[in-house]
Structure 1
Amino acid sequence: MHVLIVEDDDSVASALAAAVASAGHKAARVSRGEDALLAHRQHEVILLDLGLPDIDGLDVLRKLRQVTQAPILILTARDDERSVVLGLRSGADDYLVKPVKLVELLARIEAVTRRTSRSGQGTPHVITVGPVTVDLDRRVAAVETRELALTATEFDLLSLLARNAGSVVTREQILDALWGDAFLANSRSLDVHLTALRSKLQQPGFIINVRGVGYRVEGEPG
Structure 2
Amino acid sequence: MSRRILLLEDDRMLRASLGEALRIEGYAVTAAASLADARAVLRHAAPNEPIELVLLDLGLPDGDGQDLLAELRRQSNLPVIVISAREAEGQKIRLLDEGADDYLVKPFGIGELLARVRMALRRRGHASEPAILQYRHGALDIDLRARRVRRGGADVHLTPTEFDLLARLVRQAGQVVTHRQLLADVWGAEHVEQTHYLRLYMGQLRAKLEEDSAEPQHLLTEPGVGYRLAEAE
So what's the TM-score if we normalise by structure 2? Answer: 0.49
| Equivalent residues in 2 for 1:1-222, closer than 5 Å | 1-40=3-42, 41=45, 42-117=50-125
**Is residue 5–residue 17 contact of structure 1 (8 Å, CA) maintained in 2?**
yes
Corresponding letter in the other structure for 2:103: Y
**Is residue 2–residue 43 contact of structure 1 (8 Å, CA) maintained in 2?**
yes
Structure 2 segments unaligned to the other structure (5+ residues):
128-233
Corresponding letter in the other structure for 1:37: R
How many residues were matched structurally? 119
Q: 1:19 to 1:58 in 2, by over 3 A?
A: same
Q: Please give the secondary structure, in 2, of the residue aligned with 1:70.
A: coil
Identical positions, percent: 38
Q: Please give the secondary structure, in 2, of the residue aligned with 1:96.
A: strand
Report the equivalent of 1:140: none
**Is residue 37–residue 64 contact of structure 1 (8 Å, CA) maintained in 2?**
no
**Is residue 34–residue 54 contact of structure 1 (8 Å, CA) maintained in 2?**
yes
Q: CA RMSD in A?
A: 1.5
Whole-angstrom distance in 2 between the partners of 1:107 and 1:16? 13
Corresponding letter in the other structure for 2:16: S
Whole-angstrom distance in 2 between the partners of 1:69 and 1:56? 20
Q: For 1:120-156, what per-residue CA distance to the aligned partner results, in whole angstroms no more than 9, with x for missing partners?
A: xxxxxxxxxxxxxxxxxxxxxxxxxxxxxxxxxxxxx
Q: Please give the secondary structure, in 1, of the residue aligned with 2:30.
A: strand
Report the equivalent of 2:175: none
Q: Please give the secondary structure, in 1, of the residue aligned with 2:59.
A: coil
Whole-angstrom distance in 2 between the partners of 1:118 and 1:111? 9
Larger Rg belongs to: 2
Corresponding letter in the other structure for 1:46: V
Deviation at 1:46, TM superposition (A): 0.3
Q: For 1:14-49, what per-residue CA distance to the aligned partner results, in whole angstroms no more than 9, with x for missing partners?
A: 111011111111111011112222323531010000
Deviation at 1:118, TM superposition (A): 6.6
In the TM superposition, structure 1's runs of 4+ consecutive aligned residues that sit over 6 Å from their partners are none
**Is residue 34–residue 55 contact of structure 1 (8 Å, CA) maintained in 2?**
no
